[in-house]
Amino acid sequence: MSDIIQLLPDHVANQIAAGEVVQRPASVVKELLENAIDANATDIKLIIKEAGKILIQVIDNGKGMSQTDARLSFERHATSKIKKAEDLFNLHTKGFRGEALASIAAIAHVDLKTKQAATDLGTYIKIEGSTIISQENTATSNGTSIAVKNLFYNIPARRNFLKSNTIETRHIVNEFQRVALAHPQISFTFYHNENEIYNLISSNLRQRIVAILGKKTNEKLVPIKEVTDVVEINGFVTKPEFAKKKRGEQFFFVNDRFIKNAYLNHAVTSAFESLLSGGYYPTYFLFLKVPTKSIDINIHPTKTEIKFDDEKTLYAILRSTIKHSLGQYNVAPVLDFER
């Protein structure tokens, strides 16, 4: 009898984990933008080339990393965001798994430049397929720049399965929009093949929505606001007459994290009731704030699905809040007319 089980080498384990975290260039964009936000950046630049297949770079003005942390950031399960199991139920950051950079570095060529405000020189690390190629001190601005080149260079099957540049870019734009909508106070720029796609100045939510979806959106927005013991709801839905035949402009954010939730989506659409004709979907931007301990974010690596303690109550509150706001909007023109 012989023992045949062995622990996989780190670079293999990282590559396996990468399969879950990094499905396409847009996944890298999401992880890097979220890291910049967790680093308290107020200004974030996204630069991509060839739909992210050649380059995805995020430059932030956040708190940067020390030399040691810069190296450690590429280790698996290495994170500054949680320390113990209980922290999983009290998350205030986008990240906590400590897997993104390790995964990305396992399947791409990564250049990291980072500097903390307190030091004169920053750190420059080049890493390829989980192997650190070089590390040196460098003059760079405060914050962090991570350039991810040649994604999936060592996984030909994945690389070949990437969709056209148009489709991959659409996924990236979607991720960018979600993050930019969740953080209107942060300024963002986005360049694709040296063309400016977005240049968003620090603003409030309404201004950010208009900057992303166009000037015409402004007049279509109905504000939504409700505060209860279990949830605080903020945001906008568009007036029923502006509903669209396509899905895709439905945004839910829970504690500033974009999520997908068919059940809560139903709460919103059903609040419109007969105001919507069949096959039409309302556009909405809804921010739910709930106690961190009432949700579980750790059910999927990409964290776009979360579990609520009490989804039924949320559904009911959401539906009635939106119904009420739509009702107010609908009677408003009559009141104006009477005066």
Q: How far is the CB of 100 from Mg ion (least distance, A)?
A: 4
- CB-wise, 45 or 319, nearer to ligand ADP? 45
Give me the 45-84 binding string for ligand ADP, x by CB under 6 A, dash otherwise.
---------------x-xxxx-------x----xxxx---
- CB-wise, 25 or 95, nearer to Mg ion? 95
Out of 144, 177, 255, 265, the residue judged to bind ligand ADP by CB under 6 A: 144
Contact 138, 98 (CB under 8 A): no
Residue 100 near ligand ADP by CB under 6 A = yes
DSSP state of 244: B
Contact 144, 60 (CB under 8 A): yes
- CB-wise, 15 or 35, nearer to Mg ion? 35
- CB-wise, 149 or 323, nearer to ligand ADP? 149
The half-sphere exposure of 263 on its side-chain side, counting CA atoms within 13 A, is 12
Q: Which residues contact 254 (CB under 8 A, 6 or more apart)?
A: 288, 289, 290, 295, 306
Distance CA 339, CA 130 (A): 70
Contact of residue 217 among Mg ion, ligand ADP, none (CB under 5-8 Å per partner type): none
- CB-wise, 24 or 63, nearer to ligand ADP? 63
Q: Give me the torsion for CA of 192, 23, 34, 49, rounded to 10°.
A: -10
Give me the 19-38 binding string for ligand ADP, x by CB under 6 A, dash otherwise.
------------x---xx-x
Closest CA to 183 of 40, 79, 295: 40
3-state secondary structure of 214: coil
Q: How far is the CB of 305 from ligand ADP (least distance, A)?
A: 17
Structure tokens at 78: 């290495």
Q: Which residues contact 257 (CB under 8 A, 6 or more apart)?
A: 94, 182, 297, 303, 306
Give me the 26-45 binding string for Mg ion, x by CB under 5 A, dash otherwise.
---------x----------
Out of 64, 95, 240, 282, the residue judged to bind Mg ion by CB under 5 A: 95
Binding-site size, ligand ADP (CB under 6 A): 24
Distance CA 60, CA 51 (A): 20
Binding-site size, Mg ion (CB under 5 A): 3
Distance CA 28, CA 21 (A): 8
List residues bridging with 299 in a β-sheet: none
Q: How far is the CB of 144 from ligand ADP (least distance, A)?
A: 4
| Chain residue whose CB lies nearest Mg ion | 95
- Residue ranges that bind ligand ADP, judged by CB under 6 A: 31, 35-36, 38-39, 60, 62-65, 73, 78-81, 95-102, 144
